[in-house]
Structure 1
Amino acid sequence: MKKSLLCLFLLSTSIGVFAQDAVNYQQPPKAIADLLLAQPTPSVSIDSKAEWMLLSNRNSYPSVEELAMPEFRIAGLRINPNNFSPSRQTFINGYTLKNIKTGKTAVIAGLPAPLFAAHTLWNPSQTQISFTQTTAKGVDLYIIDIATLKAVKVNKKPLNVVLGGGITWVDDVTLLYRTATKSAAAVPVKSLMPKGPAVQLNLGKASPNPTYQDLIKTPYDEQLFEFFATSQLVQYKNGVETLIGQPAIYTAINVSPDKKYLLEKTIDKPFSYQVPYSGFPSTVKITDLAGKPIKTLAKLPSRESTPSGYDNTQNVPRSYDWRDDEAATITWALPLDSGLIKKQVPFHDAVYALSAPFSGQAKELFKTQNRYQSTTWGNATLALVREGLRSKQTIKVSRYNPEAGTIETLYELNETDKYNNPGDPVTEKNKFGLQVIQTVDHGTKLLLNNMTGSSPKGDLPFLAKFDLATKKNEIIWRSTEGTYEYVADVIDPEKLILFTRKESQKEVPNYYIKNLILRIADRKVTDFTNPYPGLEGVTKEKIAYKRADGVDLTGDLYLPKGYDKAKDGPLPTLIWAYPREFNSAADAAQIRGSKDRFTTISWASPIFWVTQGYAVLDNAEMPIVAKEGKKPNDTFVEQLQLNAEAAINKLSDLGVGDRNRMAVGGHSYGAFMTANLLAHTNLFKAGIARSGAYNRTLTPFGFQNEDRTYWDVPQLYYEMSPFSYANKIKTPLLLIHGDSDDNQGTFPINSERLFSAIKGFGGTTRFVSLPYEAHSYRGKENLLHMLWEMNSWLDQYVKKAK
Structure 2
Amino acid sequence: MRKLTLRTLLVMLVYVLGQPLSAQTTYQTPPQSIADLFNAPATPSVTFNKDGSMMLVLERNEAPSIEDLAQPELRIGGIRINPAISGQSRAGSFTNLKIKKTRSGEESQVKGLPSNPKMNGFSLSLDEKYLAFTQTESNGISLWVVDMATLEAKKLTEPILNQVFGNSVAWLPDNTIVIKAVNPSRGAMPKAPAAPAGPVIQETSGNAAPSRTYQDLLTNPYDEALFAYFMDSQLMKVNLDGSKVPFGKPAMIKSMDISPDGNYLLIESIQKPFSYLVPADRFPYTVEIWSTVGEMVKTLAQIPLDEVRPTGFDATVTGIRNVNWRADKPATLYWAEAQDKGDPRVKVEERDIVYTLSAPFTAEKQKLVGTALRFGGISWSDDSFAILNERWFASRTEKRSVINPSNPAQAPKVIIERSSDDLYNDPGSPLFTRNTFGRNVLLRKGDLVYMTSEGGSPEGSMPFLSTFNTSTKEQKILWRSQAPYYERVAKVLAADATEFITIKEGTDLQPNYWLINTKKRIAPMQVTNFAHPYESIKGIKKQLVTYKRKDGLNLSAIVYTPEGYDPAKDGRLPVLMWAYPREYKSAADAAQVRGSKYTFTRLNWGSPIYWVTRGYAIMDQTEMPIVGEGDQEPNDFFIEQLVANAEAAIDHIVEMGIGDRNKIAVGGHSYGAFMTANLLSHTNIFAAGIARSGAYNRTLTPFGFQYEQRTYWEAPEVYFNMSPFSFAHQVKTPILLIHGEADNNSGTFPIQSERYYNALKGHGATTRLVFLPHESHGYAAKESVLHTLWEMDTWLEKYVKNRK
Q: Normalized against structure 2, the TM-score is what?
A: 0.96
Task: Flag the 1:560–1:197 CA change in 2: closer, same or farther, 3 A.
Answer: same
CA contact (8 A) 2:167 2:256 kept: no
Q: Distance in 2 between matches of 1:714 and 1:633?
A: 12
Whether 1:387 aligns to 2:395 is no
Spell out, residue by residue over 1:252-294, the C-alpha distance to the aligned partner (whole angstroms, 9 max, x if none): 1111122111111110001111111100000011111112111
Out of 363, 366, 371, the position equivalent to 1:368 is 371
Out of 416, 419, 422, the position equivalent to 1:417 is 422
Out of 682, 688, 691, the position equivalent to 1:689 is 691
Shift of 1:562: 1.8
Shift of 1:546: 0.5
Whether 1:343 aligns to 2:337 is no
Task: Flag the 1:155–1:628 CA change in 2: closer, same or farther, 3 A.
Answer: closer
Task: Flag the 1:48–1:326 CA change in 2: closer, same or farther, 3 A.
Answer: closer
Per the alignment, residue 573 of structure 1 pairs with 575
Q: Distance in 1 between matches of 2:539 and 2:207?
A: 62
Per the alignment, residue 430 of structure 1 pairs with 435
Alignment of 1:293-372 (within 5 A): 293-372=296-375
Per the alignment, residue 665 of structure 1 pairs with 667
Q: Distance in 1 between matches of 2:400 and 2:295?
A: 38
Shift of 1:628: 6.7
Spell out, residue by residue over 1:631-665, the C-alpha distance to the aligned partner (whole angstroms, 9 max, x if none): 00000000100100000000000000111111000
Per the alignment, residue 219 of structure 2 pairs with 217
Per the alignment, residue 653 of structure 2 pairs with 651
Spell out, residue by residue over 1:375-414, the C-alpha distance to the aligned partner (whole angstroms, 9 max, x if none): 1111111111111111221110111111232211111111
Alignment of 1:734-773 (within 5 A): 734-773=736-775
Per the alignment, residue 165 of structure 2 pairs with 163
Per the alignment, residue 468 of structure 2 pairs with 466
Out of 130, 133, 136, the position equivalent to 2:132 is 130
Matched position secondary structure for 2:347: coil
Task: Give me the identity figure in percent.
Answer: 46
Out of 82-91 and 685-694, give the one that drifted further.
82-91
Whether 1:197 aligns to 2:193 is no
Q: Distance in 2 between matches of 1:398 and 1:522?
A: 36
Shift of 1:340: 1.4
Spell out, residue by residue over 1:187-240, the C-alpha distance to the aligned partner (whole angstroms, 9 max, x if none): 111111222111112111221111000000010000000111111111123423
Task: Flag the 1:387–1:50 CA change in 2: closer, same or farther, 3 A.
Answer: closer
- Which residue type is aligned with residue 99 of structure 2? L
- Which residue type is aligned with residue 34 of structure 1? D
Spell out, residue by residue over 1:578-619, the C-alpha distance to the aligned partner (whole angstroms, 9 max, x if none): 000000111111111110011010001000000000000000
Spell out, residue by residue over 1:65-85, the C-alpha distance to the aligned partner (whole angstroms, 9 max, x if none): 211111111001111111101
Alignment of 1:248-647 (within 5 A): 248-405=251-408, 406=410, 407-440=412-445, 443-450=446-453, 452-494=454-496, 496-627=498-629, 629-647=631-649
Spell out, residue by residue over 1:689-720, the C-alpha distance to the aligned partner (whole angstroms, 9 max, x if none): 00000000111000011010001001110000
CA contact (8 A) 1:495 1:517 kept: no
Shift of 1:17: 8.5
- Which residue type is aligned with residue 322 of structure 2? S
Q: Distance in 2 between matches of 1:156 and 1:662?
A: 56
Out of 7, 17, 20, the position equivalent to 1:18 is 20
- Which residue type is aligned with residue 496 of structure 1? T
Shift of 1:129: 1.5
CA contact (8 A) 1:119 1:132 kept: yes
Matched position secondary structure for 2:250: strand
Out of 788-797 and 312-321, give the one that drifted further.
312-321
Out of 355-364 and 263-272, give the one that drifted further.
355-364
Q: Distance in 1 between matches of 2:444 and 2:109?
A: 38
Per the alignment, residue 10 of structure 2 pairs with none
Q: Distance in 1 between matches of 2:792 and 2:272?
A: 47
Shift of 1:100: 2.9
- Which residue type is aligned with residue 436 of structure 1? V
Per the alignment, residue 141 of structure 2 pairs with 139
Shift of 1:473: 1.3
Q: Distance in 2 between matches of 1:191 and 1:444?
A: 65
Q: Distance in 2 between matches of 1:556 and 1:17?
A: 41
- How many pairs align? 785
Q: Distance in 1 between matches of 2:51 and 2:581?
A: 43
CA contact (8 A) 1:140 1:159 kept: yes
Per the alignment, residue 73 of structure 1 pairs with 75
Q: Distance in 2 between matches of 1:79 and 1:659?
A: 48
Q: Distance in 1 between matches of 2:182 and 2:314?
A: 38
Matched position secondary structure for 2:757: helix
CA contact (8 A) 1:581 1:632 kept: yes
Task: Flag the 1:485–1:697 CA change in 2: closer, same or farther, 3 A.
Answer: same
Q: Distance in 2 between matches of 1:97 and 1:122?
A: 13
Q: Distance in 1 between matches of 2:661 and 2:159?
A: 63
CA contact (8 A) 1:82 1:185 kept: no
Matched position secondary structure for 1:305: coil
- Which residue type is aligned with residue 363 of structure 1? Q
Per the alignment, residue 88 of structure 1 pairs with 90
Per the alignment, residue 7 of structure 1 pairs with none
Q: Distance in 2 between matches of 1:598 and 1:754?
A: 37
Out of 201, 206, 209, the position equivalent to 2:208 is 206
CA contact (8 A) 1:84 1:184 kept: no
Shift of 1:185: 8.1
Matched position secondary structure for 1:222: helix
Q: Distance in 2 between matches of 1:247 and 1:59?
A: 36
Shift of 1:422: 1.1
Matched position secondary structure for 1:679: helix
- Which residue type is aligned with residue 393 of structure 2? R
Per the alignment, residue 53 of structure 1 pairs with 55
Shift of 1:312: 1.4
Per the alignment, residue 6 of structure 1 pairs with none
- Which residue type is aligned with residue 441 of structure 2? V
Spell out, residue by residue over 1:295-353, the C-alpha distance to the aligned partner (whole angstroms, 9 max, x if none): 11111111111111111122211111111111211111111112212212111111111
Matched position secondary structure for 1:647: helix
Per the alignment, residue 7 of structure 2 pairs with none
Q: Give ranges in structure 2 of 5+ residues lacking alignment.
A: 1-17
- Which residue type is aligned with residue 59 of structure 1? N
Per the alignment, residue 230 of structure 1 pairs with 232
CA contact (8 A) 1:347 1:370 kept: yes
- Which residue type is aligned with residue 404 of structure 2? N
Q: Distance in 1 between matches of 2:65 and 2:366?
A: 55
Q: RMSD in angstroms over aligned alpha carbons? A: 1.5
Shift of 1:156: 4.2
Q: Distance in 2 between matches of 1:725 and 1:610?
A: 32
Spell out, residue by residue over 1:735-780, the C-alpha distance to the aligned partner (whole angstroms, 9 max, x if none): 0000000000000000001101000011100000011100000011
- Which residue type is aligned with residue 375 of structure 1? I
Out of 114-123 and 731-740, give the one that drifted further.
114-123
Alignment of 1:712-723 (within 5 A): 712-723=714-725
Q: Distance in 1 between matches of 2:652 and 2:622?
A: 11
Q: Distance in 1 between matches of 2:282 and 2:554?
A: 41
Q: Distance in 1 between matches of 2:795 and 2:560?
A: 20
Per the alignment, residue 110 of structure 1 pairs with 112
Out of 683-692 and 307-316, give the one that drifted further.
307-316
CA contact (8 A) 2:161 2:168 kept: no
Shift of 1:26: 1.1
CA contact (8 A) 1:48 1:491 kept: no
Q: Distance in 1 between matches of 2:24 and 2:355?
A: 59
Matched position secondary structure for 1:781: helix
Out of 785-794 and 288-297, give the one that drifted further.
288-297
Matched position secondary structure for 1:299: strand
